[in-house]
A and B are shown apart, each in its own frame.
Chain A
Amino acid sequence: MNELLRCQGLSRTFGAVRAVCDVDLSVSAGSRHALIGPNGAGKTTLLRLIGGSVAATSGRVWFGGADVTAWSQPRRAQAGVGQTFQHSTLFPTLSVAQNVSLALQRSRATPWWPLPRKPIWSAQADESLRALGLAEHAHRPVRSLSYGECRRLEVAVAMVRRPSLLLLDEPAAGMSAAESVLLTRTLRALPMEVTVLFVEHDLDLVFDLATRISVLHLGTVLATGTPSQIRENPMVQQAYLGSQAKEQRHVARA
């Protein structure tokens, strides 16, 4: 399969703390690639290094065959990297539709003149909202949405520009079981042109959705493989899955 994203020797230190250390990672086009690992393993930092909001201390990032290490975050976004954030960062006073529209309008030049007021909208935007069960909420201001609805909108906004790589940072965090199912269904229904790289603590969701899994521990990649390979890897079991997996499953069911 084609390789869409490659990290080579990627490191990032914050002062004396090495958050990500010499990471090699290859993500093939069309895959659903999960990053798992205990808290502080460097998963979020790795996503940010790929998204471009954090600069690498050393190492390189290739995206779609181009070396994007020196590219700014907006430039990577325009090249097709979409992302969501752990802490929701939607605009609370704007409506759901306006939040989506703000993400859409960049793909054309940002229009200045307000007349005639032709709103920026697309079929893709409708589809994203419908897929995430938000179509009937389009007119509502974001501050009136529930937490789970905000998380879903977060994903809808990231999807609306049809990125070739979608970076999701704990998309299901804080969601109810029903919302989590809806999210899984939506992500699985994404066309193969969209590659998904996601960080998630809910291992049920991970093993349900992922085609490949990388396990991070203390800033390094412990193992990468198919879900069954990871499940059977004794090193991974010891470091991470083991008793925690049961606990996690327990929490997810609760």
Chain B
Amino acid sequence: MSAVPAGLGYARVSLRSGALAAAIAVTLVAAPFYLAPYATTTLTRMLVFGLFAASLDLLVGLIGLPSLGHAAYLGIGAYTAGWLALHGLTSPLALLLAASASALAGLGAGWISVRSSGIFFLILTLAIGEIAEQIAQSWTAVTGGSNGLYGIPAATVGPLTASDVASLYYYVLGGFGVGMAMLWSVSASPLGAALRGIRDNKTRMRALGYESTRYELFAFVLAAAVAGFAGGLLAAQQRLVTPSDLGFTTSALALFAVVIGGSGRLWAACLGAALIIGVRDVAGLTVNGHGPLLLGLLFIAAVYLMPHGIAGLPRRRK
């Protein structure tokens, strides 16, 4: 191996961003000590939705596959974990099984979807997501139909039970950390560079010998798996799973989180997700339950005003 030239690093963590990450981690870990229980619950929801949005960003931002039906995998994970908990499995193993179920579904759906591109990809993911919701509605024996799965027992880790606000928060925070580490490890690795290369210039990457379809399928399955993992956390947090968890509105919310955060940056997706949950939980109370109206207007405004999201605001568009 010869001397490596400067400027080759993929995941150079600067001192400043490292310190920032550490500060955020400490703030998150200490949260239940300084936040009111209600705020802690909101933060728990933000973490679940943030992980879900970050998994979508792997698709939208990293490899450039805009999915309109990503909630399907959140929902499949949530239903799997909820069903397992109702049948006695409340340990973290349920999270892994939830991720596996979603990965499997993602393999099937991705195998179909990545053969297309552009608008066709949008349509296919949307259609598959909607069909998943319809299945959740009509397959009553397993999913509980439109009532969903309710009375899901609290998650357990060994002798500990995530039943009160603080313990549930730590359970979700732990899961969030694992899921984000997974996504970050891909994004920061040479594999992540290859995914970005396919996003920017598929022709060139194919000429370099990258079977782009295979990478796209990999990204699709991984994003589905992490979404399913987030779904498992969702089931533990809500103790209830309904068809709307895998519906179009949830997909749209996640996409919105990615877009207003600024696609291509995992932390930005989390920030966008936190913002949306904040708006929904705090402002949703005041708009008479017509949160989606506000959301729709925000969507329209964001498309025109912030083409690069929050992360794109500091730098000027070229």
A and B touch in the complex (CB under 8 A): yes
- A contacts, CB < 8 Å to B: 51, 53, 72-75, 77-78, 82-83, 85, 89-91, 94-98, 101-103, 105-107, 110-115, 117, 119-123, 125-126, 129, 135, 138-140, 157, 161
Cβ–Cβ contact A75 & B211, under 8 A? yes
Rounded to whole angstroms, the CA-CA distance of A234 and B262 in the bound complex is 62
Cβ–Cβ contact B190 & A120, under 8 A? yes
A101 to chain B, nearest CB (A): 6
Partner of B194, one of A51, A110, A125: A110
A226 to chain B, nearest CB (A): 30
Rounded to whole angstroms, the CA-CA distance of A82 and B207 in the bound complex is 7
Rounded to whole angstroms, the CA-CA distance of A114 and B197 in the bound complex is 17
Partner of A114, one of B4, B5, B6, B188: B188
Rounded to whole angstroms, the CA-CA distance of A168 and B138 in the bound complex is 58
Rounded to whole angstroms, the CA-CA distance of A53 and B200 in the bound complex is 17
State the total of A-B contacts with C-beta under 8 angstroms. 119
Cβ–Cβ contact B206 & A77, under 8 A? yes
B188 partner residues in chain A, CB cutoff 8 A: 114
Partner of A102, one of B3, B6, B185, B208: B208
Pairs A–B under 8 Å by Cβ, sample size 30: A53-B206, A74-B206, A74-B209, A74-B210, A74-B211, A77-B209, A78-B209, A85-B203, A89-B201, A91-B204, A97-B4, A102-B197, A102-B205, A105-B190, A105-B193, A106-B209, A110-B190, A111-B191, A114-B10, A114-B11, A121-B1, A121-B4, A121-B8, A122-B1, A123-B1, A125-B2, A126-B3, A138-B5, A138-B6, A157-B208
CB nearest to A108 among chain B residues: B190
Does chain A have a CB within 8 A of B9?
Answer: yes
Cβ–Cβ contact A123 & B2, under 8 A? yes
Partner of B185, one of A91, A112, A139: A112
Given A83-B207, A114-B185, A121 contacting B201 (CB threshold 8 A): no
Cβ–Cβ contact A103 & B7, under 8 A? no
Rounded to whole angstroms, the CA-CA distance of A97 and B4 in the bound complex is 9
- How many residues of chain B have a CB within 8 Å of chain A? 34
Given A77-B208, A110-B194, A119 contacting B4 (CB threshold 8 A): yes
B2 partner residues in chain A, CB cutoff 8 A: 121-123, 125-126
Given A102-B193, A113-B189, A138 contacting B7 (CB threshold 8 A): yes
Question: Which of the listed residues A119, A123, A129, A138 has the most CB atoms from chain B within 10 Å of its own CB?
Answer: A119
CB nearest to B3 among chain A residues: A126
A102 partner residues in chain B, CB cutoff 8 A: 193-194, 197, 205, 208
Cβ–Cβ contact B208 & A117, under 8 A? no
A77 to chain B, nearest CB (A): 4
B4 partner residues in chain A, CB cutoff 8 A: 97, 119, 121
Cβ–Cβ contact A117 & B11, under 8 A? yes
Does chain A have a CB within 8 A of B212?
Answer: yes
B3 partner residues in chain A, CB cutoff 8 A: 126
A139 partner residues in chain B, CB cutoff 8 A: 5-7
B210 partner residues in chain A, CB cutoff 8 A: 74, 106
Cβ–Cβ contact A91 & B208, under 8 A? no
Given A74-B210, A77-B206, A112-B186, A98 contacting B6 (CB threshold 8 A): no
A94 partner residues in chain B, CB cutoff 8 A: 193
B207 partner residues in chain A, CB cutoff 8 A: 51, 53, 73, 77, 82-83, 85
Cβ–Cβ contact A97 & B208, under 8 A? no
A223 to chain B, nearest CB (A): 29
A51 partner residues in chain B, CB cutoff 8 A: 207
A123 partner residues in chain B, CB cutoff 8 A: 1-2
A122 partner residues in chain B, CB cutoff 8 A: 1-2
A78 partner residues in chain B, CB cutoff 8 A: 209
Cβ–Cβ contact B7 & A140, under 8 A? yes
Rounded to whole angstroms, the CA-CA distance of A126 and B191 in the bound complex is 22
Rounded to whole angstroms, the CA-CA distance of A105 and B1 in the bound complex is 14
Rounded to whole angstroms, the CA-CA distance of A96 and B4 in the bound complex is 12
CB nearest to B5 among chain A residues: A138
Rounded to whole angstroms, the CA-CA distance of A97 and B8 in the bound complex is 6
B211 to chain A, nearest CB (A): 4
**Which residues in chain B, 1-40, are within 8 Å of chain A measured between CB atoms?**
1-11
Given A97-B5, A98-B7, A121-B1, A89 contacting B206 (CB threshold 8 A): no
Rounded to whole angstroms, the CA-CA distance of A160 and B1 in the bound complex is 14
B264 to chain A, nearest CB (A): 11
